[in-house]
Structure 1
Amino acid sequence: MTDPKTQAETLRGLHGGEMLVLPNVWDAASAEIVAEAGFPAVATASAAVSAMLGYPDGEGAPWQEMFAAAARIARVVTVPVTVDAEAGYGLAPREFVERLLETGAVGCNLEDTDHRSGGLADADEHAERIAEIRSAATGAGVPIVVNARVDTFLGDRGIPEPDRLAEAVRRGRLYREAGADCVYPIGVRRRDDLAALVTELACPVNGNVGEELDLAALRDLGVARVSYGPRFYRAALEGFRTAIGNLEG
């Protein structure tokens, strides 16, 4: 399956049936492992990809290198690929869509952190950016799947803990209305908070596995999509570190 429009439609459809589980990858080899294991889509993790390239997360890596890594991933698998594109690297919406499609990917994460200030972007401005990206994708003839990450639950973004849930709902609704296909409230740890988000947003929601939220719990809550971020990349490096440490000098 190589037609981008078909792949985008397939990826969107995966958000409406059985919970979509995405063990995030960082290079072509890890992508092949995920695809060969039978997962119906491949997702990158920006923290893992940037670390693999030798840069810090949070748009520390040049977008050209991040997208080149995504292209190598998309080249070796036949399932749809979605890219963690951080906050979009400051690219204008039309160029962002063009560059994303050039990689062979048909979906993206877009987070609402302003990496210049370290705080959250203005929600209305971010929603407008999502709307412009949606319009550009429509113009390109490929309905890319936008996973709108909401960063209110990240403790260093300046939102007091009692206000995080309400602000996540407010932002998620704005992004959904702007054209996002899925809302990703990263950093949610409490089952009750995630349950409220699934109910209040009434759209596909991306969850993460945590102490209160294993895959079974996420499925019971009605989460549409699960991602792991850099967890498997770090586990792979730890395994490598252990193996190296066990070598005889």
Structure 2
Amino acid sequence: MTELNRQAAALRALHRPGDPLILPNAWDAGSARAVVAAGFPAVATSSGAVAEALGHADGEALPVEEMFAAVGRIAAAVPVPVTADLERGYGLRPAELVERLLAAGAVGANLEDSDPRSKRLSDVEEQADLLAGIRAAARQAGVDLVLNARVDVHLRAYGPAEERLAEAVRRARRYLAAGADCVYPIMLAEPAQIRDLVAELAAPVNVLARPGAPGPAELAALGVARVSYGSGLYAAARARVADLLGAIRAGTDPFGS
């Protein structure tokens, strides 16, 4: 476990508020290698991109064995720490989830707090228990995994809009107390609210980079510690392939200017 511990410590150290870890999420070994070749110090997977690349929909539709096999191929292909997007854990008990994650060679996990199928927000205490169980199982296994707790309040448009930030802060605090290293209020994009959340938590915060959201430089100025691109690169790559195929079908040069 020595190498996994080294990688976990390296991944955790990369979460620096104001100097964020940038994660252009990968979906297979080739895209992971491209991330490393571009100079990024860690690789994160995207559950949606991995699932779609393997012919399944997002939302835990991909068989769990295939997800961990994909994570294993990615981790084996790169020399940097890998953190895996595991949706809500595929119904696995914490000890089994940790065992499979470590066997795949990953040292971090992203876990969301809404049901992938019903889209309903999970009970805060149930999610905190899940995170605490994973933290305890990881320590028993001898590797201090980096846990990123996704907060889905804004994604699911939970409650009145004016109360969502407070609810996100409440959930994030509970998850940090349960053992999370970083919290991920996905879809939160308003700069003032990001700044307020970072100030309220005084802990690493992950923000999704997407159209209409602040860019990495602005997020750094807001105190963010981690910036993820989700399935955005995969979607852009698919769109580019579609353009190339359209050109071929039209009888034109797909590689022309």
TM tier relative to shorter chain: over 0.9
Pairwise CA distance, 1:116: 4.5
Counterpart of 1:152 in structure 2 is 153
Where does residue 202 of structure 2 map in the other structure? 202
Q: Partners of 1:140 and 1:170 in 2: how far apart?
A: 30
User: Deviation at 1:230?
Assistant: 0.6
Consecutive unaligned residues of structure 1, counting only runs of 5 or more, are none
Query: 1: CA distance between counterparts of 2:240 and 2:165?
Result: 36
Aligned length: 248
- In structure 1, the residue matched to 2:82 is 81
Name the aligned partner's letter for residue 103 of structure 2.
E
2:46 corresponds in structure 1 to 45
Per the alignment, in what secondary structure is the counterpart of residue 124 of structure 1? helix
Describe the superposition over 1:118-163 as per-residue Cα deviations: whole angstroms up to 9, x where unpaired: 2011001100110010000000000010000000001x35433122
Q: CA deviation at 1:214?
A: 1.0
Amino acid at match of 2:119: G
Q: Is the 8 A contact 2:114 2:152 kept in 1?
A: yes
Identify unmatched segments of 5+ residues in structure 2. Answer: 252-257
Which residue does the alignment assign to 2:254? Answer: none
**Deviations 1:51-101, CA, capped at 9 Å, x for gaps:** 111111111111111111111100110000000000000100000000111
> C-alpha root-mean-square deviation of aligned residues, in Å?
1.5
Q: CA deviation at 1:212?
A: 4.3
Any idea what SS the aligned residue of 2:143 has? Answer: coil
Q: Which residue of 2 aligns with 1:246?
A: 247
Asked if the contact 1:22/1:42 (under 8 Å) is kept, the reply is: yes
Deviations 1:172-200 (A, max 9, x none): 00000000000000011211111111011
Do the aligned partners of residues 212 and 34 (structure 1) sit closer, same or farther apart at CA in structure 2, a change above 3 Å counting? closer
Give the letter for the 2:120 counterpart.
G
Aligned to 2:169: 169
2: CA distance, partners of 1:183 / 1:52: 27
**Residue of structure 1 equivalent to 2:184:** 184
Aligned-residue sequence identity (percent) comes to 54
Partner letter of residue 143 of structure 2? V
* Contact 1:145–1:181 under 8 Å retained in 2: yes
- Other structure's SS at 2:9 match: helix
Question: Which runs of structure 2 are paired with 1:214-233 in the superposition (5 Å)?
Answer: 214-233=215-234
Following TM superposition, by how much is the alpha carbon of 1:234 offset from its aligned partner in structure 2, in angstroms? 0.7
**1:36 match:** 37
- Mapped partners of 1:46, 1:182: distance in 2: 18
Instruction: Kindly state the Cα deviation for residue 102 of structure 1 after the two structures are TM-superposed.
Output: 0.8
Could you tell me which residue of structure 1 aligns to residue 14 of structure 2? 14
Matches within 5 A, 1:35-114: 35-114=36-115
Q: Look up the SS of the partner of 2:91 in the other structure.
A: coil
Normalised to the residue count of structure 2, the TM-score between the two structures is 0.93
Q: Residue 234 in 1 paired to residue 230 in 2? A: no
* 1:149 alignment partner, SS class: strand
Q: Is the 8 A contact 1:118 1:157 kept in 2?
A: no
Cα distance in 1, alignment partners of residues 216 and 49 from structure 2: 22
- Secondary structure of 2:22's partner? strand
2:125 alignment partner AA: D
Q: Secondary structure at the match of 1:88?
A: coil
